[in-house]
């Protein structure tokens, strides 16, 4: 099967500093894949390479079989992108922004009107179609950006930090939309530095640290590898220490063997634990 995204030995350097160094990654058609890493890990740079905005220093990236450097015009038809910053025209309404984008994609007039009304309905913005961008909430702006990215029916939707800056309730609405697009057949590749977003949404995640992919798997698979149960021990002077166990009974055995002076907590492990164990750093910290 041809991967929707295929990366091999992909390197990007700025002034000799290596910010992306990914040996290999394949995202299959239909997947909902998350790229997890702290600020500065290289997520946006990787997205910029995949979406033809910047060229890799070396290595290869293919989108649905087309090379992001050599087959530029073909690649551009394969993906839609929602960038981290607001990239809508503030002087236009939501519908006008979509209209502008549809024209850029050379959709004939009759198709444009139909597609825009379909998409507004899809992202639940039909009632706000004539609102200026400045007058709508952050969540609506994000949904309008998603609608715009889908105008040409791309097979791959790339989302860079899709819920950054949104409140918890609005974030969940955007998650629902992402799940809906994915179950309707669109491959989704998103970046996030929110652990709960990766756990809630992604079938597979790749953990990026200092430009390198240090782990890849399902959130559950990565937790199983570490141990499903965490024991937290507060030690005098040494902060909190963590130990991981396959199940609660093994964790309980370990706890029973400890001197009674330590403050202890037993809980389920999570992706944050995986990240901290692999990098010695919290995702949100840097
Ligand atoms: N145009 C550029 N010139 C020089 N350095 C850059 C450039 N773009 C990114 N970098 C550097 O590359 C590294 C990776 O940045 P990148 O934006 O890809 O990280 P990120 O994981 O997406 O983080 P964020 O979520 O903050 O965008 C950072 O150290 C950044 O300073």
172-189 pLDDT, tens digit each = 989 999 999 999 999 999
- Domain-embedded: residue 274: no
For 45-96, write each residue's pLDDT tens digit: 999 999 999 999 999 999 999 999 999 999 999 999 999 888 899 999 999 9
Tell me the CA–centroid distance for residue 240 and ligand 1, in Å: 31
Look up residue 82 and give its DSSP letter. Answer: E
pLDDT recorded at residue 175: 94
**By alpha-carbon position, which residue is closest to atom 4 of ligand 1?**
14
One domain, residues 185 and 237: no
Do 208 and 247 lie in one domain? The reply is: no
Write the CATH number for 24: 3.40.50.300
pLDDT at residue 248 tops 70: yes
What pLDDT, on the 0 to 100 scale, is given for residue 240? Answer: 85
Same domain, 99 and 238: no
Overall average pLDDT of the 243-247 stretch: 95
- In terms of domains, do 157 and 132 share one? yes
Average pLDDT over residues 119-129: 94
Q: Are residues 250 and 186 in the same domain?
A: no
**pLDDT score for 269:** 96
Q: Given this model, what pLDDT does residue 51 score?
A: 96
Q: In angstroms, what is the span from residue 209 Cα to ligand 1's centroid?
A: 12
Question: Among 11, 17, 18, 19, which residue has the most ligand 1 atoms within 8 Å of its CB, making it the best to mutate?
Answer: 19
pLDDT of 283: 62
pLDDT (mean) for 110-128: 93
Task: Cite the DSSP H helix spans in the chain.
Answer: 43-50, 72-78, 94-104, 109-122, 138-149, 168-183, 195-201, 219-226, 248-256, 271-279
Whether 239 is covered by a domain: the verdict is yes
275 assigned to some structural domain: no
284 band by pLDDT with thresholds 50, 70 and 90? low
Averaged pLDDT for residues 256-274: 86
Q: What is the residue whose two structure tokens read 């009759």?
A: 110
- Rounded CA-CA distance 50/79 in Å is 9
Residues 143 and 252 in one domain: no
Q: Give me the number of domains the chain comprises.
A: 2
CA atoms within 13 A on the CB side of 87: 15
Going from the Cα of 245 to the center of ligand 1, the distance in angstroms, rounded, reads 36
How remote is the CA of residue 54 from the centroid of ligand 1, in Å? 12
Rounded to whole angstroms, how far apart are CA atoms 186 and 90? 28
pLDDT over 60 at 285, yes or no = no
Give the pLDDT band of residue 38 (cuts 50, 70, 90): confident
143 touches 123 (CB < 8 A): yes
Q: Does any domain span residue 178?
A: yes
Residue-level pLDDT at 257: 85
CA of 45 to the centre of ligand 1 (A): 6
With bands split at pLDDT 50, 70 and 90, how would you rate the model's confidence at 100?
Answer: very high
Q: Are residues 125 and 249 in the same domain?
A: no
Tens-place pLDDT, residues 143-160: 999 999 999 999 999 999
| Residue 286 pLDDT class (50, 70, 90 cuts) | very low
What's the CA angle centered on 93, arms 191 and 172, to 5 degrees? Answer: 35
Q: Which residues line ligand 1 (CB under 6 A)?
A: 14, 19, 37, 39-45
Mutate to test the pocket of ligand 1, among 17, 40, 165 (most ligand atoms within 8 A of CB): 40
Instruction: Give me the domain span that covers residue 263.
Output: 228-268
Whether residues 100 and 162 share a domain: the answer is yes
Q: Across residues 252-258, what is the average pLDDT?
A: 88
Q: What does the pLDDT read at residue 268?
A: 96
Q: Is the pLDDT of residue 261 over 60?
A: yes
- The predicted-structure confidence for 221-234, as pLDDT tens digits, reads as follows 999 999 999 999 88
């Amino acid at each position: 099967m041809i991967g929707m995204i295929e990366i091999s030995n992909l390197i990007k350097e700025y002034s000799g500093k290596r910010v992306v160094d990914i040996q290999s990654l394949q995202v299959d058609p239909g997947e909902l894949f998350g790229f997890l890493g702290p600020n500065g890990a290289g997520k946006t740079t990787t997205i910029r390479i995949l979406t033809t905005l910047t060229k890799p220093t070396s290595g290869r990236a293919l989108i649905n079989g087309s090379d992001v450097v050599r087959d530029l015009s073909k690649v551009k038809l394969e993906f839609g992108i929602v960038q981290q910053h607001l990239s809508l025209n503030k002087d236009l309404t939501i519908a006008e922004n979509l209209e502008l984008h549809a024209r850029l994609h050379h959709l004939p007039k009759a198709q444009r009107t139909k597609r825009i009304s379909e998409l507004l309905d899809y992202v639940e913005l039909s009632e706000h179609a004539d609102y200026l961008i400045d007058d709508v909430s952050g969540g609506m702006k994000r949904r309008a950006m998603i609608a715009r990215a889908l105008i040409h029916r791309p097979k791959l939707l790339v989302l860079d930090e899709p819920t950054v800056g949104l409140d918890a309730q609005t974030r969940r609405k955007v998650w629902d939309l992402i799940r809906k697009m994915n179950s309707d057949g669109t491959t989704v590749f998103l970046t996030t530095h929110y652990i709960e977003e990766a756990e809630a949404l992604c079938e597979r995640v790749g953990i990026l640290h200092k430009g390198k992919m240090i782990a890849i798997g399902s959130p559950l698979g990565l937790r199983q590898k570490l141990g499903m149960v965490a024991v937290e021990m507060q030690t005098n002077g040494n902060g909190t220490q963590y130990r991981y166990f396959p199940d609660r009974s093994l964790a309980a055995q370990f706890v029973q063997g400890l001197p009674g002076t330590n403050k202890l907590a037993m809980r389920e492990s999570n992706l944050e634990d995986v990240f901290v164990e692999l990098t010695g750093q919290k995702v949100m910290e840097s």
